[in-house]
Amino acid sequence: MTNTIKVGCKEIFELSDKEAKNYKCLGRAVGYGIGLCLYQAHKHCQDFANRVVAYRIIENDNVASVVTEKLEKQYIAVEFYE
C-alpha cells in the first residue's frame, strides 16, 4: 500500500527512488516532521498545493543529520514532486 498525505483537498503519494526519476522535483524541505516540511514547501514554492502530486523522504540526508545532532530532535528531509 502506498503512503499518502493530505495537501489541501487532495492526497499526495510517496514515491520510491526509482519512481522519482519520472517526476519533476519542486524542492526539498528539512523539518522535524512532514507537517513542517509541507509548510516550508507551501511557503517557498509558487502554487505548491495545485502542483504537488508526490513526495519522497530522503534517507541519510546530510542537512537533516546535522540538525538532528545539534538540536537533539529527529529531523527529516522531504522532496516534493509534480
Adjacent-strand bridge partners of 25: 81
pTM exceeds 0.75 for this model: yes
Q: Is the pLDDT of residue 1 over 70?
A: no
pLDDT, one tens digit per residue, over 34-58 is 999 999 999 999 999 999 999 999 9
Work out the pLDDT band at 9, boundaries 50, 70, 90.
Answer: confident
How many angstroms from the chain centroid is the CA of residue 59? 12
Question: Is the pLDDT assigned to residue 12 strictly greater than 60?
Answer: yes
Question: CA dihedral in degrees (37, 41, 43, 44; nearest 10)?
Answer: 130
